[in-house]
Structure 1
């Protein structure tokens, strides 16, 4: 059976980078910590650390174990805070998973109404691939998942998708690139360097069809699952990039780029996926109502 004290010592050493620093944090002797970690390794017949010179480095097994320990002790800290708080001081925990393809500005705007509720919320956000987020939703480690697509039909997971809204897409680039590829849109994109969402995203397939219909063939120089990383490359001048039209003004102002053009023939949609069909959590209610009232207005 797993010894959680030994696991805690392993976690602290891995986080601090050395037994000496772990001793300072835990107020224990090096012999105690190293001895307990050795017992943990003996229990499972595998090494978690290896010595490299005077330093300790995680083995492959140690690297695999660390994220699990991280989650376990994070949940433990949340539980301790919950139990210590007085009933009237307890905020409502709102655990949100965000698919990594959803632009961060969209996520912020969707979550912003939850910060104005009369009932205090404590929001925790986690970004990951949609399938992994939905697995955590199924075992109630998340209250909500925000995605660019509804619940996939092939997944044997109970969940209900609610469309928050949709909008067209806009194309952006640095002033230098805009000047270099000036002309009528979208013809000006012919041969232009393009940063594009990855093949697994919904908008990618729609973009490919649209470019074919327009008989425009940009030069793809980068594919990204993470929208923030794509924008960072776009801001540096690496190529033209896209973003939802509802945040076009913010993208231009924040990244110091210019709008090349936009189309409503290619749309991005955003969904809230929850376990219960009937929405009860005040955070989810605030998101769905705010999206329709302020973000995705007709």
Structure 2
């Protein structure tokens, strides 16, 4: 960066402005009056404007001088804060954690799985959402520290990643109050009458739901399929249809989405895995997450 003036000259001018004169500024700086005056004149020459003008036996700020002093105030106030900021940066090391989440995974469940690291001093969390295979590729290239998904990583001799089981949750059916009454009558056969929202086929739990429908002898009235769980919740909150969700986030779901539980989806569970590059995890934040396996 090229500057047309010296910050040293600006500092001397700033002290003159704050002290109200050359003599007092020179006394504060421990310098000769002539030296301070010369530094201020150098600043004026650099800027091409007059910053101080005689007023009787005193010097006062010109309009340009007032503007320069205001900016100098900001500059040197920030400068005074610099040592403390640098010390804080050294004393509180940043712990970066890059997490990839499969797009079909319940966002509420992701939040619960990451609770063990919430509030850790100095943590900086980066969350990336994407398709399962893309996230595994980023993990293999060390662009991510961990991937949260609804299935373990497939066996691949070319990619050394390890799957850690984190949690299992039963599924339940939920809906808005307007749909609860009809959906509750003769459940689960009522799912052939009321509109149903489902995760798309790329979600691991979708295959389990299809088997459950077959076992119960139900042909659901599907009106929407979603790859993104948050988008599914948004349409469900608007009353578009009933939907399945992990029971482990029941309280968060009913509070944030405004839905109620219809019934448990007996025999259907959703699994949650943490996939990492190391069999024995060294990252201190990842250790916290994996220690909460249940």
Bin the TM-score by the shorter chain: 0.5 to 0.7
Alpha-carbon offset, residue 249 of structure 1:
2.3
2:198–2:224: 8 Å Cα contact kept in structure 1? Answer: yes
Whether 1:150 aligns to 2:175 is no
Structure 1 segments of 4 or more deviating over 6 A? none
> TM-score, structure 2 length as denominator?
0.67
Identify the residue that residue 257 of structure 1 maps to in structure 2. Answer: 259
Q: Which residues of structure 1 form unaligned runs of 5+?
A: 1-82, 293-298
Deviation readout 1:240-277 (Å, 9 max, x if unpaired): 11110101222122222111111241110000000000
1:196–1:223: 8 Å Cα contact kept in structure 2? Answer: yes
Deviation readout 1:117-173 (Å, 9 max, x if unpaired): 4x5321111111111111111111110000011102358422000000111101111
2: distance between equivalents of 1:239 and 1:252?
A: 15
The DSSP-based 3-state class of the residue aligned with 1:280 is coil
2: distance between equivalents of 1:182 and 1:274?
A: 42
Match of 1:243 among 245, 259, 278: 245
Which one has a bigger Cα radius of gyration? Answer: 2
1:191–1:217: 8 Å Cα contact kept in structure 2? Answer: no
1: distance between equivalents of 2:87 and 2:107?
A: 33
> TM-score, structure 1 length as denominator?
0.66
RMSD over aligned Cα atoms: 2.0
Match of 1:120 among 119, 122, 126: 122
Match of 1:191 among 193, 209, 213: 193
Identify the residue that residue 277 of structure 1 maps to in structure 2. Answer: 279
2: distance between equivalents of 1:277 and 1:182?
A: 46
Cα 1:154/1:193, change in 2 over 3 Å: farther
Deviation readout 1:31-75 (Å, 9 max, x if unpaired): xxxxxxxxxxxxxxxxxxxxxxxxxxxxxxxxxxxxxxxxxxxxx
2: distance between equivalents of 1:216 and 1:148?
A: 25
Cα 1:219/1:102, change in 2 over 3 Å: same
2:175–2:242: 8 Å Cα contact kept in structure 1? Answer: yes
Whether 1:104 aligns to 2:119 is no
Whether 1:222 aligns to 2:212 is no
Cα 1:132/1:186, change in 2 over 3 Å: same
2: distance between equivalents of 1:144 and 1:98?
A: 9
Q: Which residues of structure 2 form unaligned runs of 5+?
A: 1-85
2:184–2:263: 8 Å Cα contact kept in structure 1? Answer: no
Alpha-carbon offset, residue 89 of structure 1:
2.8
Deviation readout 1:165-206 (Å, 9 max, x if unpaired): 111101111111112333133222222211001111110000
Aligned pairs, number: 209
Identify the residue that residue 29 of structure 1 maps to in structure 2. Answer: none
2: distance between equivalents of 1:226 and 1:204?
A: 13
Identify the residue that residue 50 of structure 2 maps to in structure 1. Answer: none
Alpha-carbon offset, residue 287 of structure 1:
1.2
2: distance between equivalents of 1:154 and 1:180?
A: 47
